[in-house]
Structure 1
Amino acid sequence: MVPNSPLSRRAVLGVGGTVAAGGLAGSVLATTGDAQSVQPGESTFSDWPLERYDPAGTGYNPDVSGPGESVQVKWRTELNDFRGGRASPILVDDTLYAVGAGVAALDARDGTVQYAVEGSYLSGPGVVPAEAYRSKTLVVAGSQGYVGLNSRGGATLLGRRFGFERWHQGGEPPSRFTIGALPTASPPVVADGVVYVADAVTDRLAALDPSSGRERWHTEVGHENASGQPGRPAVHDGTVYVGWWPQGAGAYDAQTGVQLWQQEVDGDIVFSPTAMDDRVLFPDPEGVTALDPADGSELWRFDHAGNVTDDGAVAVADGTLFVVSDTEDRSLHAVDVTTGEERWRVPDVAREATPVVADGVVYLAADGFDVVAVDAGDGTVHWRFETENGAGTPAVSDGVLFVSGGYESVYALEAGR
């Protein structure tokens, strides 16, 4: 279905509620001051523990809902010199973790800052229990490899911070200086108490211990052909799937790192996969390829004729995959996951965006500045919310959409009145 009158990019519309410029409620000004311990307690929100929700990268939690058909601001927190970029925040134990030019932990209920620490961090975070510590480990890509941090922020004494960084899993500095919004590296994936990382600088796929950062195994991906640069891995049913430049797709045993199969797919660049029981979806700039998880053979190919240049990952919910094409009309496509046939397409929605799904609604950042809600059944655009300095992939939990805005803002959006 293609609606006859797509909404204007700068319109802010809602059914039963309207968000107007300057109508921000619950704004909190925060600084990168002393850490406050995150106190455990009865959870208000369901966890959204990874970018794209789960290890498989589906971007879908069937047990939660978002704002739905209308929207308003629940709270907004500003963090000095944060530069949040496109990374998705994650939500664990009622604490929202966001990464930009530093790591920030916020109370998901009201946006209160629990701690904010400056640093050179280049990916979205992941949180994992660590046997050696009472608190969980927060894993994020650093300027030279991945680091494990104290999820509660450590402590400060005489202006100095102690007990924040637990381990550093060595890597190499990026080969080029990055200008613009951060983060830029592949986020970690946590599955069954193990941290899986795909380091695009060293072309290395590795499994790490969450307490020490010690490698359980590692392997190079695509490096023999002077290629590589793997994206976020997907982990499902004991297998790690990863795509790399230019056309590589592979499956690896999650326990040993032994390669199970390798395949070439269409498209100039292979983006981060999404894994399912009976197929693995590998997006690229011009479409999506479904491979058999048993041997990597192609099941079907969907071409949207786009030209996506960023990591155009997909979301999967209730038998439908959702993918954005960077065509002139900036379309969102809904595709039957079994057959690869398009169900509907709605133009003028977004470009360079990774969707997430909750309770029959697709949420995504459009052109980096608008957050858009689209009906998953027929493509109806419910609303657009404009952020001041950009937006990244959202996280969803129990009626609230959490968005790390570009630079200094983090938003919580709820249903409009």
Structure 2
Amino acid sequence: MPPSRRRLLRSSLSAGLASIAGCVAGFGNQTECQTGRTRHESDVSLPATAAWPTYQYDAGNSGYNPEATGPQEDASVAWRYSACTEAGAGVVVSSGRAFAGKLAVDGETGTANEGNWSGHMSTPAVDDNMLFVGTSDLEAKNVETGSDAWTFQTDEDAGALPSPTVAGGTVYVPGAIDDPTIYAVDAADGSEKWRFQTTADVRVPVAFSDGDTGIVFALDESPTLFALDGKSGEELWTRSLDRSDPGIAPTVIEGRLYVGSADGGVYAIDPNSGETVWRQQDGIGGAVAGGAGTLFVAGRDAIGALDAADGSVQWQTSTGDLKPGPPAVTNDAVYVGDTSRTGDGAVVAFDATSGEERWRVQTRQVLFGDYTRAGINHGPAVVDGVVYVATAPGDLYAIT
């Protein structure tokens, strides 16, 4: 029998984040913060079938949408929706809407549909007309109606759960602070399928690899990498990665597992055995994305392209003071956002072949009392000529 769960739902913590002194819209000008659509240059076109449905696009965290194209040149902000909250969630796109936390915004106009967004919510996932959100628990909502479907209570409620991963009718989500557990939850009814205890907390999403049963990969803060059977939760293998960065989610791309290392490199790992296939240590270490034989890596102050076969560097471009988050990749471009909380919050597009910068769009800082917040949360979502980003001050942008 699994350990007992907490009996009571916690109330939303978003109310405690509601007091905001003002906004910095540019050149240091300070105005009262307002919720709602606070900037509108134009609507965008977004087909209902266009989708970036989960953290880094898919259950493997590949960050690669081969069907998408982004703005080609002279990109600019089409609209901005402001939630006036300190936020950590990234944005996903599905059914004509953009979602951050439990907030749903019309993906074309930037007007709110329903829901809310606070700092105690993670990047959601959309699957089979359901929205799954990590708060202090795992919550499921109907995408069309916004109604609550179920809530799964984890063992601890210290902060938001990492982003959920959905595959094969199961939602996989790590526990919150002081809860070193991977939970597997039935997507239909919220019942627990299994749980697995890790060595330390896991603060990034898991990655899922398709196979006979599917394999779940989790990287904890020790840092130890675990491979678990997707159906049973049985440990398949485990290994210590002394130089890996536990703040970067593992990635599965075209049947191989990749983990960014803290010393400026990347591990390529056989997902079935856990053995190292190759290790790149040329100074481009960080979040990995890509497909079609090429990996794109966002390091501390650079972005680069690697050959997936052997890790050799194809190109490398300095990002200067910009601290790039996980890349979003299309067939011809790589998109990153500045995750620095004190930077200019820029969103930058690079040519996928040459690494040349194509365009750059800045987001705004927002003043919270006596300090400001800025920066992009996680990676952009790129669909049908539009780049969507969510920022730490609680703004959602559509860039075309």
TM-score over 0.5 (shorter chain) = yes
**Secondary structure of 1:261 counterpart:** strand
* 1:407 aligned onto 2:393: yes
Return the alpha-carbon distance in structure 1 between the equivalents of residues 118 and 333 of structure 2: 35
Contact 1:279 1:293 in 2 (8 A): yes
Whether 1:366 aligns to 2:338 is: yes
Which residue of 329, 333, 339 corresponds with 1:357? 329
Matched, 1:395 2:359: no
1:325 has 2:312 as partner: no
Query: Which of 172, 176, 180 does residue 156 from structure 2 map onto?
Result: 172
Structure 2 partner of 1:83: 86
- Structure 2 equivalent of residue 334 of structure 1: 305
Judge conservation of contact 2:121–2:134 (CA < 8 Å) in 1. yes
Q: How far apart are 1:169 and its partner, in Å?
A: 2.4
Distance 1:195 1:277 in 2: 22
- Alignment gaps of 5+ in structure 1: 1-19, 23-28, 33-41, 130-135, 155-162, 179-183
State the distance in 1 between where 2:347 and 2:77 align. 12
- CA deviations over 1:193-224 (Å, ceiling 9, x no partner): 211112243111121112332111111122xx
Q: Determine whether 1:243 maps to 2:219.
A: yes
In the alignment, structure 1 residue 64 sits paired with structure 2 residue 68: yes
Q: Which residue does the alignment assign to 1:281?
A: 258
Q: Tell me how far 1:342 sits from its aligned partner.
A: 1.2
**Identity rate, percent:** 30
- The worse-fitting range, judged by mean Cα deviation, of 385-394 and 47-56 is 385-394
Per-residue CA shift, 1:264-295, capped at 9, x if unaligned?
22405333111134420011222210111120
Aligned-partner SS, 2:287: coil
- Structure 1 372/185 Cα, relative in aligned 2: closer, same or farther at 3 Å? farther
Alpha-carbon separation, structure 2, partners of 1:194 and 1:166: 14
Greater length-normalized contact order (CA 8 Å, ≥ 6 residues apart): 1
1:68, distance to aligned residue in structure 2 (A): 2.4
The one-letter amino acid paired with 2:134 is: A
Q: Structure 1, residues 20-48: CA drift from partner, whole Å, max 9, x if none? A: 979xxxxxx6459xxxxxxxxx9445111
Distance in 1, matches of 2:191 and 2:48, equals 34
Secondary structure of the corresponding residue to residue 153 of structure 2: strand
Which runs of 5 or more residues in structure 2 are unaligned? Answer: 1-24, 28-33, 38-45, 366-374
**3-state secondary structure, aligned to 1:117:** coil
Equivalent in 167, 171, 179 of residue 191 of structure 1: 167
Shift of 1:372: 0.7
CA 313–199 in structure 1, closer or farther in 2 if over 3 Å, else same? farther
* Aligned mate of 2:235, from 243, 259, 270: 259
Aligned length: 341
What amino acid does structure 1 have at the position aligned with 2:290?
V
Deviation at 1:118, TM superposition (A): 5.6
| TM-score scaled by length of structure 1 | 0.75
Map 1:17-416; keep pairs closer than 5 Å: 30-31=35-36, 43-79=47-83, 81-85=84-88, 87-99=89-101, 103-117=102-116, 121-129=120-128, 136-143=129-136, 145-152=137-144, 154=146, 163-164=147-148, 166-174=150-158, 185-201=161-177, 202-222=179-199, 227-229=200-202, 231-237=204-210, 238-267=214-243, 269-270=245-246, 271-286=248-263, 287-305=265-283, 312-326=286-300, 330-348=301-319, 350-368=322-340, 369-389=345-365, 390-392=375-377, 393-414=379-400
Q: 1:283 to 1:151 in 2, by over 3 A?
A: same
Where 2:272 maps in the other structure, the secondary structure is coil
TM-aligned CA distance change 1:200 to 1:313, over 3 Å: farther
Q: How far 1:120 sits from its partner (Å)?
A: 6.3
